[in-house]
Chains A and B, each alone.
Chain A
Amino acid sequence: MIEVITSGPLMTVQDLGRPEARRYGVSPGGALDSFALTVANQLVGNPPNSAGIEITAGSAALRFHIPITIALAGGDLGARLDQQPIPTWCAVRAWPGATLSLNGRRGAWGGRCYLAVAGGIQVPSLLGSRSTDLAGGFGGLHGRPLHPGDQLPLRRPGTGIIPVTGRHWPSSLRPAYCATPTLRFIPGPHSEHFTPDTLDRLGRATLRVSTTSNRMGYRLDGVHLHYQHMTSILSLGVVPGTIQVPPDGTPIMLMADAQTSGGYPIIGVLLSADMPLAAQLLPGDTLHLAPTSLDTAYDALLEQARMLAHNPEHDEGDLLATLAGG
């Protein structure tokens, strides 16, 4: 069992979401940074879709009541286990009664950190997922963010899985996380609804994630885009990463908890491979957008799939180098 001591700005149970439930009007949901959650699960020996905890940068603490292997991946939030610093992207053994504490962003980037525990979080699976649907009020723990005092049941790790600690995920096999990332997007499908200079202006602007942003979407301040002529668009299906432009001209980038359909013109959609970079942004953070081609998008996806195919078991030497300061 894991006990929530403090939950920070937002702490939720997430797996890789329920993309198929979109046909019922249900958001795909799931970890904003699915790469980080997948890696954290791999480090503790879980299948990639096991439920973990998405921790948003801020003061958060969790206590473990049994000896268990854990891993954190994503932004560096200065994690400590009973006051002792522990590395991110690394499997660690927690002892009964140990308290994991995290804080705000420590480096130049990082808004969300993912905690995986061997076996995964045991909450009921609804519509094929254990993810919390905040708008729908279901999934995760009672369909809501985690609160102090919550107790999360754990699944027993599969038999034959030996808890491995010290497994480490090398930085060369992670997305290019950084401050003010350049997020690439595929233009369309409504480019012709906008004035001809729109892609140029979007590409040149330094954008800032507005304070009203959340897991549903980020409003991007710093540019005003204009329609060529007033157009009305029939509500159509959208995906996370969609950049839509309401009449006020401020683009909105949809994230995992976005509605399944939208009626605003769409200027482009982020590369799937760049979604982890977007996931690490917090309100106030800056970013750039750059149009690119489908070929580039597929290359980037293949590269990310190659990274995830990495087997952390073969890395003991790498870890020793890390511990030695290499």
Chain B
Amino acid sequence: MHWSFSSLGDSALLMEAQGELDVTNQAVLALTMALEANPPAWLRAVVPAIASLLTCFDPLSMSHNGVMEYLRKLQQVTALQPTYHERVVRIPVHYGGTDGPDLDAVSRLTDMTPTDLIALHCAEPYRVMMIGFAPGFPYIGPLPSDLNIPRRATPRSAVPPGSVALAAGMTGIYPSRLPGGWHVIGRTDLPLFNPETNPPATLRPGDRVQFVAVLPDLRRRHP
């Protein structure tokens, strides 16, 4: 794994990994866990992303070069001994209809029937590659290349909470009502973020997410 280091201002160091996304992301997550397992006194925050790791530090207790040396050594150790464990989280999804208004459009874009699309989305667990954009918002992937579609031409000003959406080779889930440009194919009832719990986010980077289709007749309650 080749890492490039650069400063993001005077209090943060950015490490970017080159290579295939799936591999770089696993390296980022392994390094994050190694760093957090034994946090140095100068560490203020760690922000793992898809192919990069941002380390925020107290520049008055450790120099930029000192942080870089520490991370370089940690990365060498981590590369030898992966410290990264996976947890599988099942996420029930109501696909299509009003819950997934873009399901038909995505079917056309991917040249699949909605049923095949849902089956592919539920076929195997994908990894939470990062949490970002909004509190508790997971970037889940990488999806099979058949599901790799660009963002919607026109973003929505408000996407309902729980919306399960596709774009850029990943699945995202909107934890709350947010503007969004991804294609909404379904909705989950699983809450993803609660600031009053610890940890506040239901998912964490490194988790494996298994989407499970909720059959329409099981959830429809007639009066």
Residues of A within 8 A of B (CB): 19-26, 28, 126-127, 133, 135-139, 185-186, 188-189, 234-239, 241-242, 259-261, 266, 268-273, 294, 297-298, 301-302, 305
Contacts and interface: CB of A to CB of B under 8 A. Distances in A.
Interface stretch (B91-99, B103-111, B115-123, B132-140): B132-140
Given A19-B56, A135-B134, A234-B51, A189 B196 contact: no
Contact of B10 (A19, A136, A137, A271): A271
6 A-B pairs with least C-beta separation: A269-B9, A237-B47, A237-B54, A261-B132, A189-B6, A297-B10
Interface string B75-94: 00000000000000000000
B52 interface: yes
Chain A interface helix/strand/loop/mixed: mixed
Given A23-B47, A127-B200, A239 B133 contact: no
B10 A298 contact: yes
A24 B201 contact: yes
Contact of B12 (A20, A135, A239, A305): A239
Contact of B130 (A28, A235, A259, A273): A235
A236 B135 CA distance: 15
B200 to A, nearest CB: 5
B14 interface: yes
Interface in B181-218: 193, 195-196, 199-201, 205
B168 to A, nearest CB: 9
B11 A272 contact: yes
Assign chain B's interface to a size class.
35 or more
Most chain-A CB neighbours within 10 Å: which of B14, B64, B137?
A: B14
A25 B131 contact: yes
Contacts of B148: none
Contacts of A236: 14, 16, 49-52, 54
Nearest to B131: A25
A188 B200 contact: no
Contact of B133 (A188, A259, A273, A302): A259
Contacts of A138: 195-196
B1 interface: no
A218 to B, nearest CB: 16
B45 A22 contact: yes
B162 interface: no
A305 B59 CA distance: 11
A238 B200 contact: no
B59 A24 contact: no
A272 B59 contact: yes
Given A127-B200, A235-B49, A270 B9 contact: yes
A22 B12 CA distance: 13
B8 A266 contact: yes
5 contacts: A23-B47, A24-B193, A25-B193, A236-B51, A242-B8
A234 B49 contact: yes
A19 B44 CA distance: 7
A189 B12 CA distance: 11
A260 B132 contact: yes
Interface string B11-25: 110101000010000
Contacts of A301: 10, 59-60
B26 interface: no
